[in-house]
Amino acid sequence: MSRGRVFASMCSLVFLVNLARVVFAPLLEPLSGAFALDESTAGLIATLAWLGSATPRIPTGYLLTRVERHRVVLGTGAVLTGAALFMYAANSVPMLAVGAFLMGVASGAYFIAANPLVSELYPGRVGRTLGIHGMASQVAAVVAPLFVGAVLLTASWREVFAVVAAVAALATAGFYWTARRTDLPDAGSADRNFLAAARKQWPIIVTGVALFGASGFVWNGFFNFYVKYVTATKGVTPGTANTLLTVVFGAGVPAFWATGRLADRLPHIPLILAILGGFVASLLALTAAQGVLAIAAVTAVLGYVVHSLFPALDTYLLDSLPDQNRASAYSLYSGLVMIVQAMGSVVIGALVDRGFAYDTVFRTFGAGLIAILAVLVALYALDWLPEGGRDPTVSSGD
């Protein structure tokens, strides 16, 4: 069986594991009504899904030094199915919290195991395949509110998780069926020393964190407070603000597809630096934009640019790391950058609570990103950033 069918089954799985993280936002209202949740408790349930996604990343990297990548991917599908069933049966707030955390765990472990495997299925087209895989994941963020709304028209929040569990079980079975009939790459067989990978590949790991850490921090706070920001500062109605937030994520679908292809054709570091510059420019432009049309236009550009960072960075890392260190080093990067990124909402929320205006906060962080970008450009000009890249003679596979 061709690797294409394995890849297709992984695109189905990545859609579901990302849906498991983003489905809580549109479900907070019905969950609050069913369990009498206050605002902080409802927010905690959503946060636990993302905390669950961050927690297993580095441990999964160690696990991959002992277990084959496709077996870990299969295990994440099983965890997702079980977690969704657990959520379906939840009858208390602690059960909701545990279920949300476990759904996040499935997604975090999946990305650490799956992204290296995707890059190894087609080693000559890393950016293209990571872009398609990421696009399938991004579609989940766009359709989650529509999916939840459609189910709630005729059923309750429990049926949302019942559908997720059923489809996850089918997708996991599909991956198992295709993987066991396919000659999968054995590039990960040499990745057996987690600490050695950290010592040997720390320049690329640190470079990855430097390239995305601060921007990811700002992005996390931005999208979580986007609706409140445009309603409080720009005079946009809540309904329009929610639609614009969908635009932010919807713009990421073509961004993954197009930037993944660019990442195979252009030098990695200049591409990433150019995207970072675009993110800062669009963020600052949004603070100056007035009127729904202008805000919508800048929002679409910002959504496209920031989502371009993900395939560009993943291609840089997974294309640069050697077989014997790829999954271990990638998990270290992902775990570290996720911790930095997750703090964005807390810090921005605290600054706004202290009386700082949203525009002031975003402009200040924009200025900070410009300073960081200037340092990164200087380091690249001095040839102090590892460019990486695999041997171009490597076969692209089936």
* Same fold across 1-178 and 193-386: yes
Domain 1-178 CATH (choose: 3.30.1300.30, 1.20.1250.20, 3.40.50.740, 1.10.8.640): 1.20.1250.20
pLDDT band, very low/low/confident/very high, at 349 (cuts 50, 70, 90): confident
Give which of 3, 11, 8, 397 is closest to 181, Cα–Cα.
3
Structural domain spans, the chain: 1-178, 193-386
With a CB cutoff of 8 Å and minimum separation 6, the contacts of 379 are 385
Q: Report d(CA 97, CA 244) in Å as an integer.
A: 29
Long-range contacts of 294-303 (CB under 8 A, 24+ apart): 295/230, 295/234, 295/236, 295/244, 296/244, 296/247, 299/244, 299/247, 299/248, 299/251, 300/247, 300/248, 300/251, 301/251, 302/248, 302/251, 303/247, 303/248, 303/249, 303/250, 303/251, 303/252, 303/255
Q: Is the pLDDT of residue 398 over 60?
A: no
What's the CATH superfamily of 193-386?
Answer: MFS general substrate transporter like domains (1.20.1250.20)
Span 369-387, pLDDT tens digits: 999 999 999 999 999 999 7
With a CB cutoff of 8 Å and minimum separation 6, the contacts of 59 are none
| pLDDT value, residue 211 | 93
What is the average pLDDT score of the chain?
Answer: 91
Average pLDDT over residues 166-177: 96
Q: Report d(CA 71, CA 172) in Å as an integer.
A: 11
| pLDDT value, residue 187 | 75
Q: Report d(CA 367, CA 352) in Å as an integer.
A: 18
Span 109-158, pLDDT tens digits: 999 999 999 999 998 889 999 999 999 999 998 999 889 989 999 999 99
* Token pair of 325 as six digits: 């260190």
Where would I find the beta strands (DSSP E) of 343-383?
A: none
More confident residue, 398 or 206: 206
Q: Is the pLDDT of residue 214 over 90?
A: yes
> By CB neighbour count within 10 A (0-12 exposed, 13-18 middle, 19+ buried), where does 168 fall?
buried
More confident residue, 220 or 388: 220
Span 182-204, pLDDT tens digits: 888 887 788 889 999 999 999 99
| Percent share of the chain, pLDDT over 90 | 72
Q: Report d(CA 88, CA 100) in Å as an integer.
A: 11
Q: Report d(CA 71, CA 56) in Å as an integer.
A: 16
Q: Report d(CA 27, CA 37) in Å as an integer.
A: 12
Give which of 15, 369, 354 is closest to 219, Cα–Cα.
369
| pLDDT value, residue 181 | 86
310, 132 contact by CB (below 8 A)? no
More confident residue, 196 or 349: 196
pLDDT band, very low/low/confident/very high, at 390 (cuts 50, 70, 90): low
Q: Report d(CA 241, CA 246) in Å as an integer.
A: 9
Q: Report d(CA 164, CA 382) in Å as an integer.
A: 50
**Helix, strand, coil distribution of the chain in percent, nearest 5:** 85, 0, 15
Q: Is the pLDDT of residue 397 over 70?
A: no
| pLDDT value, residue 121 | 92
| Percent share of the chain, pLDDT over 70 | 97
285, 298 contact by CB (below 8 A)? yes
* Token pair of 284 as six digits: 């600052």
* Token pair of 83 as six digits: 């977690």
Span 23-80, pLDDT tens digits: 987 888 899 899 998 877 887 888 788 889 889 999 999 999 999 999 999 999 999 9
Q: With H, G, I as helix, E, B as strand and everything else as coil, classify residue 326.
A: helix
Span 244-292, pLDDT tens digits: 988 999 999 999 999 999 999 999 999 999 999 999 999 999 999 999 9
More confident residue, 219 or 398: 219
* Token pair of 109 as six digits: 């472990």
Q: Is the pLDDT of residue 89 over 70?
A: yes
| pLDDT value, residue 389 | 61
